[in-house]
Structure 1
Amino acid sequence: MKTAFVTDSGCGKSVEQLMADGIYSVPLQVSYDGKNFHDQEDITIDEAYALMKDGKMLSTSLPSLGKIEELFSKLKEEGYERIFAVPICSGLSGTINAMAMCCEQLGIVFEYVDCHVTAVVQEYMIKVAKALFEDGKSMEEIKAVLGRIVDTTNTILLPNDLQHLKRGGRLTPLAATLGGLLKIKPILKINQETHGKIDVADKVRTMHRAMDNVIEIMKKEHVDDSYLITVAHADDAKEADVYMEKIKAAFPNAKHQIIKLVSVVGVHTGRGCQAVQYFKMIKD
């Protein structure tokens, strides 16, 4: 069955970048001042953070149904009978449901795996799925491999701007005020256990103490040399470097990288957030 592999801009890459690897994508939406912009197409990560620095309150939403329908109709015309998707997780977005609905209307088979997060693991999983398919693996085998990746995945967020979380409605005004006065740094997590929703893992007094706590969490989860560990920052590269040095000291033989936190997450956490995402890579 001719199968197209599809994701969205939650992975931090543009439609053009993903197409270079034979993967189709649709852009999520970033909105401000009553206007919608296609993520990674009309507005870059840097532009989003610049707007936030200027005091703009941004929001995000799933890809427009028109964009999904346009892509899927094109794929059907090209003879694709099935779409296999790894979109941004259902706990953060309705993208999976929108894709499923479009496939049903067009009469295309829809298969997907919920990554329960977004960003780096989302891109990794769709690329692994395509490679396995090209190696002759069945849908069941592909889903089993991706499931093992999800089982080892965790994303931990260290927001620095409690007032931004308050303005965005994700923290009560009282909690934000008390947190600011007491210099409390919440440690937030998003993973399979939280069903792709953001939950509180712990609270500490300083950003560097929070980083140390995250490393202890990683040790308890038996992170080892087979993991990819990503530090993603919301417009604060200096602190990301500090975070990465701590991580490298604890896990020197793992694979490491620093990136900018994807817009669809950074918009909600605010500038200055430091995130770490890690998962066990599959063996070649």
Structure 2
Amino acid sequence: MEKIAILADSGCQIPVDSRENEGIFIAPLTITMEGKSYLDDIEIHSIDVFKRMEKDDIMVMTSQPSTGSLQEAVQKIKDQGYSHVIGLPIATGLSSTMNGMKLACDMLEMPVTLVDTKGTASNQKYLVEVAAKLAREGKSPEEIKDILEKLVEDSATIIMVPNLEHLKKGGRITPAVAALAGLLKIVPIMKLNYSLGGKIDSFGKVRTTKKANLKIIDHMVNECKVNNKNYVFAIEHVLSEELALEMKQKLIEQIGECEILVRELPAVVGAHMGIGGIGYQYIRKYEE
């Protein structure tokens, strides 16, 4: 039986080095502010990034883990006697981390099976935890990949952005689209488009922040048909906890009591959404 390790990036919000005893290894993404680069969740944390954005109105850039960080993680995996890696990077539509993982594994002659999470944050974390559980149970890399891809297909990330300025500056949308939204005083709703590998795509637009959030909940309940038994939920935000908690109650009112995680978004996503951004995630629970 192969000894399988799980390799992910810090977008999944699992602290680096915190769960290696479970076979989970994390490579830090890179955060750049005012010309200085930091290792995500090691040298800087998401709350620090967001407070700097709020205080100084600075532009934050993000990038995939460095080749060195990925090689270091793979070497550690190899040194601990693992024979195969399951790579679970942030969505390929948001980052080139998957390519970096493959390169690092190839350079160190470590067999790897890659799965596009088509997301980040809580959904990515859930996939990492399920993968580690399956590996401990003795499932093969092919079996693990098949199970994870089925969960990914019944998941979503929907975001509300108060304004499009950060997405425009980060090159995630065109300046023309951002200008139009500003001119019309529209609050855009966006979704990670799975057919594009999880790229940020337009989903809808309304006139107020409150209406935008309620529209997302309505879409999840009435069109995606989520329920409180078969799904894992999270509402993640950029310094907007009060509204996130309010929307948590609105969702519970519609689907019944369930656990819904509320927390800050990872810096790699929140930096491009701007202060006040909120992301809604759900993913189907793994059932044996």
Compute the TM-score of the two structures, normalised by the length of structure 2: 0.93
Match of 2:192 among 157, 167, 190: 190
Give the equivalent residue in structure 2 for 1:37.
Answer: 38
Letter in 1 for 2:152: V
Give the equivalent residue in structure 2 for 1:222.
Answer: 225
Give the equivalent residue in structure 2 for 1:76.
Answer: 78
1:280 has 2:284 as partner: yes
SS of 1:278's equivalent?
strand
Any stretches of 5+ residues in structure 2 without a counterpart? none
Distance 1:136 1:111, change over 3 A: same
Give the equivalent residue in structure 2 for 1:27.
Answer: 28
How far apart are 1:81 and its partner, in Å? 2.0
Give the equivalent residue in structure 1 for 2:130.
Answer: 128
Instruction: State the distance in 2 between where 1:157 and 1:24 align.
Output: 28
Give the equivalent residue in structure 2 for 1:250.
Answer: 254
Contact persistence 2:11–2:268 (CA under 8 A): yes
Instruction: State the distance in 2 between where 1:66 and 1:143 align.
Output: 26
Contact persistence 2:166–2:271 (CA under 8 A): no
Letter in 1 for 2:61: S
After the TM superposition, which parts of structure 1 deviate over 6 Å for at least 4 consecutive aligned residues?
A: none
Letter in 2 for 1:16: D
Contact persistence 1:117–1:191 (CA under 8 A): no
Which aligned pairs between 1:84-233 and structure 2 lie closer than 5 A? 84-218=86-220, 219-225=222-228, 226-233=230-237
Letter in 1 for 2:227: D
How far apart are 1:174 and its partner, in Å? 4.5
Instruction: State the distance in 2 between where 1:20 and 1:81 align.
Output: 16
Instruction: State the distance in 2 between where 1:109 and 1:166 align.
Output: 38
**Aligned pair count?**
284
Letter in 2 for 1:243: M
Give the equivalent residue in structure 2 for 1:16.
Answer: 17
Q: Deviations over 1:15-57 (max 9, x none)?
A: 0333364411110000012221100010101110011111121
Give the equivalent residue in structure 2 for 1:60.
Answer: 62
Letter in 1 for 2:209: M
SS of 2:18's equivalent?
helix
How far apart are 1:220 and its partner, in Å? 0.9
Root mean square deviation, CA, Å: 1.7
Contact persistence 2:193–2:201 (CA under 8 A): no
How far apart are 1:172 and its partner, in Å? 4.1
Compute the TM-score of the two structures, normalised by the length of structure 1: 0.94
How far apart are 1:162 and its partner, in Å? 2.5
How far apart are 1:5 and its partner, in Å? 1.4
Instruction: State the distance in 2 between where 1:210 and 1:32 align.
Output: 29
Instruction: State the distance in 2 between where 1:273 and 1:17 align.
Output: 28
How far apart are 1:65 and its partner, in Å? 0.4
Contact persistence 2:113–2:145 (CA under 8 A): no
Any stretches of 5+ residues in structure 1 without a counterpart? none
Q: Deviations over 1:171-198 (max 9, x none)?
A: 4444434423422011100142342101
